[in-house]
Amino acid sequence: MLLCDEPTGALDSHTGKIIIELLINLCESENTTVIIVTHNSEFGKVANRVIHIKNGEVEYIETNENPQSVDAINW
Protein backbone atom coordinates (compact mmCIF):
# COMPACT_ATOMS: atom_id res chain seq x y z
CA MET A 1 0.00 0.00 0.00
CA LEU A 2 1.24 3.47 -0.89
CA LEU A 3 -0.19 6.47 0.98
CA CYS A 4 0.26 9.84 -0.76
CA ASP A 5 -0.72 13.07 0.99
CA GLU A 6 -1.35 15.82 -1.60
CA PRO A 7 1.20 14.37 -4.05
CA THR A 8 0.60 17.15 -6.59
CA GLY A 9 -0.03 20.04 -4.19
CA ALA A 10 3.04 22.10 -5.10
CA LEU A 11 3.31 21.06 -8.75
CA ASP A 12 2.27 22.65 -12.02
CA SER A 13 -0.51 20.87 -13.94
CA HIS A 14 1.82 19.18 -16.44
CA THR A 15 4.04 17.66 -13.74
CA GLY A 16 1.00 16.84 -11.59
CA LYS A 17 -0.52 14.79 -14.39
CA ILE A 18 2.76 12.92 -14.83
CA ILE A 19 2.80 12.05 -11.11
CA ILE A 20 -0.83 10.86 -11.09
CA GLU A 21 -0.20 8.75 -14.20
CA LEU A 22 2.87 7.27 -12.50
CA LEU A 23 0.80 6.37 -9.42
CA ILE A 24 -1.94 4.78 -11.55
CA ASN A 25 0.63 2.74 -13.48
CA LEU A 26 2.30 1.66 -10.23
CA CYS A 27 -1.05 0.55 -8.85
CA GLU A 28 -1.79 -1.53 -11.93
CA SER A 29 1.67 -2.98 -12.59
CA GLU A 30 2.41 -3.90 -8.97
CA ASN A 31 -1.18 -4.86 -8.08
CA THR A 32 -1.04 -2.61 -5.05
CA THR A 33 -3.32 -0.10 -3.39
CA VAL A 34 -2.53 3.58 -3.82
CA ILE A 35 -4.33 5.98 -1.48
CA ILE A 36 -4.24 9.64 -2.44
CA VAL A 37 -5.31 12.11 0.23
CA THR A 38 -6.37 15.36 -1.41
CA HIS A 39 -8.80 18.25 -1.36
CA ASN A 40 -9.01 18.11 -5.17
CA SER A 41 -12.21 16.21 -5.92
CA GLU A 42 -11.20 16.06 -9.60
CA PHE A 43 -8.88 13.15 -8.75
CA GLY A 44 -11.97 11.03 -8.20
CA LYS A 45 -12.41 10.90 -11.97
CA VAL A 46 -9.39 8.62 -12.34
CA ALA A 47 -9.89 6.56 -9.17
CA ASN A 48 -11.51 3.15 -8.81
CA ARG A 49 -12.94 4.14 -5.45
CA VAL A 50 -13.32 7.44 -3.60
CA ILE A 51 -13.74 7.60 0.16
CA HIS A 52 -15.30 10.87 1.28
CA ILE A 53 -14.41 11.96 4.80
CA LYS A 54 -16.17 14.65 6.78
CA ASN A 55 -15.35 15.71 10.33
CA GLY A 56 -12.89 12.84 10.65
CA GLU A 57 -15.39 10.13 9.71
CA VAL A 58 -16.19 8.26 6.52
CA GLU A 59 -19.22 10.00 5.05
CA TYR A 60 -19.63 7.65 2.08
CA ILE A 61 -17.70 5.49 -0.36
CA GLU A 62 -18.13 5.95 -4.08
CA THR A 63 -17.20 3.26 -6.62
CA ASN A 64 -16.14 4.49 -10.04
CA GLU A 65 -16.98 1.78 -12.59
CA ASN A 66 -15.32 3.71 -15.45
CA PRO A 67 -12.22 5.59 -14.31
CA GLN A 68 -11.19 8.25 -16.82
CA SER A 69 -7.74 9.14 -18.08
CA VAL A 70 -5.56 11.66 -16.27
CA ASP A 71 -6.39 14.19 -19.00
CA ALA A 72 -9.94 14.38 -17.58
CA ILE A 73 -8.64 16.11 -14.43
CA ASN A 74 -9.26 19.87 -14.42
CA TRP A 75 -6.38 21.69 -12.73
Is 47 contained in some domain?
A: yes
pTM for the whole structure: 0.83
CA atoms within 13 A on the CB side of 42: 14
Is 74 contained in some domain?
A: no
Q: State how many domains the chain has.
A: 1
Q: What is the mean pLDDT of residues 66-75?
A: 91
Q: What domain range includes position 18?
A: 2-67
DSSP, collapsed to helix, strand or coil, labels residue 5 as strand
What is residue 75's predicted lDDT score, i.e. its pLDDT? 81
Is 61 contained in some domain?
A: yes
Is the distance from CB of 69 to CB of 46 less than 8 angstroms?
Answer: yes
Specify the long-range contacts of residues 30-33, CB closer than 8 Å, at least 24 apart.
32/1, 32/2, 33/1, 33/2
CATH number of residue 30's parent domain = 3.40.50.300
- What would the pLDDT profile of 19-64 be if each residue is shown by its tens digit? 999 999 999 999 999 999 999 999 999 999 999 999 999 999 999 9
Please check the confidence at residue 74 and state whether its pLDDT lies above 90: no
Is 75 contained in some domain?
A: no
